[in-house]
Amino acid sequence: WLVSQPQLPAWQLVFGALVMGAGISAMHYTGMAAMRMQPGIDYDPALFSASLLIAVGASGAALWIAFRLRRQAPYVRLIRGGAAVIMGIAIVGMHYTGMAAARFADGSFCGAAADGLNGEGLDNLVLITTLAVLSIALLTSILDARLEARTADLAHSLTEANRELTQLALHDTLTGLPNRVLLADRIDQAMSRVQEQGGCFALMFIDLDGFKPVNDAFGHHMGDQLLREVGLRLREDLRSQDTLARIGGDEFVLLVQLAEPNDALNLAARQVGLIARSFRVAEHDLQISASVGIALYPGNGQTAEELLMNADAAMYHAKGAGKNGHSFFDASMNSNARKQLQLLQDLRNALDQQQFSLYYQPKFDAGHGRPVGAEALLRWEHPTQGMLQPDSFIDLAEKTGLIIPIGEWVLNEACRQMREWYVLGYTDWRIAVNLSALQFCHAGLVQSVAKALATHHLPANSLTLEITETTAMSDADASMTVLQELSDMGVDLSIDDFGTGYSSLMYLKRLPANELKIDRGFVRDLEHDSDDAAIVSAIVALGQALGLRIVAEGVETGVQQDFLTQLGCDSLQGYLLGHPLPADRFMADIHRGERLAAG
C-alpha cells in the first residue's frame, strides 16, 4: 500500500520499515520461543538489538527501492532483483544475528520435543505450504506485471489522446497550421517580449482573392486542396520564430518578428507574390491572388483582438484598392470597418424586418414601342440611411453568403408580382431577375426556381434569369449543366453585360441561352466612340446569327434608341424609356402609356 502512493514521506517510510522489521523479528523470536527450551534462552543484548536493526533497516531499504521502481525504466528487472536480495538479507541477516545472540545453557533441552508438533509429515507440510506461498507470490507477480503493463499502455494511450486533443484544440484540422486560439496566445507572447526586450512585430491578415469562384466551380474538395497548398507555400518563407495561422475560410494570419517596422513592406510584397504564382492542384492550374492588411506592434493596437481587427480593416482596404496587394493600417480604416460591421448586422436583420423591396424597370419592344416586361431591381429601405442601391450592399452580401436567402426572396417576390400582372392579362410579359455568381453556383438554385414558379402558379417562360457572361464562363461545363436544367424547365435565360467578359464563342454557342444583353458601358458612348458602335454592331450580328434575342440596357438618348433599333435590337431598356419604380407606380406609367397609344 505504501509503495503505491503518489509520494512516500520519510515518516511513512520509517513507519513501514518498523512494521515490516517487527513482523520479521516477531516471526523469528516467536519460533525460538515455540521450542520451549529448558532452561530458557538467554540473548546477548548487543546482537539482539543488532538483529532488530538489521530487520528494520533492510525492510526500509526494500520499501524505498520498491517505491522508486513503480514505473518501467531501464534495467528495472535487475534492480527489482536487487530489492528482493536486500529483503532476503533482511530476513536471513536478522535470523542468523538473532541465532548468534541466543545463549543456550549447558544441559538445555527442547520442551516441545515431548508434547509439541509431531515431526512426521511436518517437512511435507512445510514444503507444500512453501510451494503454495511461492506459487501464489509468482501468480500475483505475473498478474501485477500484466496489470502494470496494461496500465503503462493506458497511460501511453492517454498521453497520445491528450496530445491529439491539444493538437485539435490549437491547430486547424485542414492545414495543420495554428488556429485562432493558438495565434492569440502567440500574439500575447510576442507583445510581452516586445515590452521586455524592445523591438516590434507585424500582424498580417491575408485573404485570398478569387478563392470562392474556385471553390464553387470545382467543389469543396478542390478548394480544401488549394488551401493546403497555400499554407505550404506561405510556410516556405518563414523563420522558426514566426507564426502562420489559418483562422477560417480563406483567411490566414502571419505573425512575424521585425528588426525594423519598414521590413514589413518587403515581407508583405513577398507574400502577395507567392500567392500570385499559379497553383497546380489535381491537374488544374489555379490562379488566385491575395490581399494583405498589416498592423504593427507597438502602434496599431494594445491587445491581440485589437491588432487582429485592425489588420482585418487594412486587408479590406487593400481589397477595395483593387486586390492583389497590401495595405498598412491607418486609424481612418477603423471607422470604415465599424461601418461595414454595422451594415452587416443591419443586412442580417433586413430580411426578417421586411426592409427589402423590388423596383421594376420596363423593357420595350424596339420596333413597336410596346412594353414586353420588366427587370426586377432590389432596393433596401435602411432604417437610418434611407433607400440604398444594390451596389452599396451586394458585395457584402456576397462575401457573407447572405446573397443566397436575399436572392431567394427576390426570386419569389418577382414571381409573385409577375403572377399579378399575368392575371391582369399581360401574359406575353417576362420578368427578369439577376443571379449573382454565388447564387448561380449554389446547389439548390434549380429547386428554388421550380419552387417559386410552382408557389405562384407562374408559367416558366414568364421568368427570365440573367447571369453575367463572366459567371457563365467561369466553369463552362458546370454552367452548361445548370443552364440546361433551367432551360428544360422552360425558364428564359439571358447573358447579362455581354461583351465585358472573355467568352469563348465555342462555349457561347453551346449555352442554352435565349437572349444577349448588351452592357450599358457600350451603349453609353455609342454617339461619341466609333469603337463602341462597332462592338455593339458585332454583338447584335453575333446574337442574330445564334438565334438569340438582343436586349440593350442603359438607353438614355434618342440617338442611342434610333441606332440600336436600326441595328436590329429586339428590346430596349433605360432611363429614356422608364426609371425603376415600385410596382404600383410602374403600372401607373404603363397604363398612362397605353392610354396615350390608344388616344
**Domain of 48?**
2-116
Decide which of 127 and 360 is more confident.
Answer: 360
Considering only 21-25, 105-109, 334-338, 595-599, which range has the smallest mean pLDDT? 334-338
The CA-atom distances, in angstroms, between 217 and each of 277, 442, 507 are: 20, 10, 16
In this structure, the number of other CB atoms found within 10 A of the CB of residue 72 comes to: 12
User: Which residues, 6 or more positions from 12, have their beta carbon under 8 angstroms from its beta carbon?
Assistant: 2, 5
Residue 594 covered by a domain:
no
Residue 596 covered by a domain:
no
Q: What is the pLDDT of residue 559?
A: 92
CATH number at 215 reads 3.30.70.270
CATH number at 389 reads 3.20.20.450
Q: Is the pLDDT of residue 73 over 70?
A: no
Share of the chain above pLDDT 70, in %: 88
Same-domain check for residues 449 and 507: yes
Residue 121 covered by a domain:
no
Residue 424 covered by a domain:
yes
How far apart, in whole angstroms, are the C-alpha atoms of residue 438 and residue 384? 28
Residue 54 covered by a domain:
yes
Decide which of 554 and 72 is more confident.
Answer: 554
How far apart, in whole angstroms, are the C-alpha atoms of residue 242 and residue 235? 9
Same-domain check for residues 112 and 196: no
Residue 377 covered by a domain:
yes
pLDDT digits (tens, 9 = 90+) for 162-203: 776 666 677 888 888 998 888 989 999 999 999 988 889 999
How far apart, in whole angstroms, are the C-alpha atoms of residue 202 and residue 307? 9
SS3 content of the chain, % helix, strand, coil (to 5): 60, 20, 25
Same-domain check for residues 395 and 529: yes
Cell numbers placing 27? 516471526
Same-domain check for residues 78 and 37: yes
Q: What is the pLDDT of residue 501?
A: 54
Share of the chain above pLDDT 90, in %: 33
pLDDT digits (tens, 9 = 90+) for 518-574: 888 888 888 777 788 888 898 899 888 888 999 999 999 999 999 999 999 999 999
Q: Do the beta carbons of residue 375 and residue 361 sit within 8 Å? A: yes
Tell which of 170, 203, 235 closes a domain: 170
pLDDT digits (tens, 9 = 90+) for 465-487: 998 876 776 666 777 888 899 99
Confidence bin at 599 (pLDDT 50/70/90): low
- If we measure between CA atoms, which residue out of 586, 548, 552 comes closest to residue 572? 552
Tell which of 170, 188, 203 closes a domain: 170
| Cell 495554428 sits on residue | 178
Residues 405, 471, 382: CA angle, nearest 5 degrees: 35
pLDDT digits (tens, 9 = 90+) for 270-306: 999 999 998 888 888 888 899 999 999 988 888 888 8
pLDDT digits (tens, 9 = 90+) for 486-504: 999 999 999 887 765 545 5
Task: Give how many domains the chain has, as a whole number.
Answer: 4
CB burial string 185-218: b at 16+ within 10 A, e below: ebbeebbeeeeeeeebbbbbbbbbbbbbbbbbbb
- Sign of the dihedral through C-alpha 122, 124, 125, 129: positive
Strands 289-297 vs 200-209: parallel, antiparallel or unpaired: antiparallel
How far apart, in whole angstroms, are the C-alpha atoms of residue 96 and residue 51? 8
Mean pLDDT (the chain) is 84
Strands 492-498 vs 463-468: parallel, antiparallel or unpaired: parallel
Confidence bin at 442 (pLDDT 50/70/90): confident
Alpha helices in 321-402, H assignment, sequence order = 331-350, 394-400
Q: Is the pLDDT of residue 49 over 90?
A: no
Same-domain check for residues 145 and 223: no
Residue 397 covered by a domain:
yes
Mean pLDDT, residues 328-344 taken together = 77
How far apart, in whole angstroms, are the C-alpha atoms of residue 570 and residue 430? 14
Same-domain check for residues 428 and 479: yes
Q: What is the pLDDT of residue 75?
A: 63
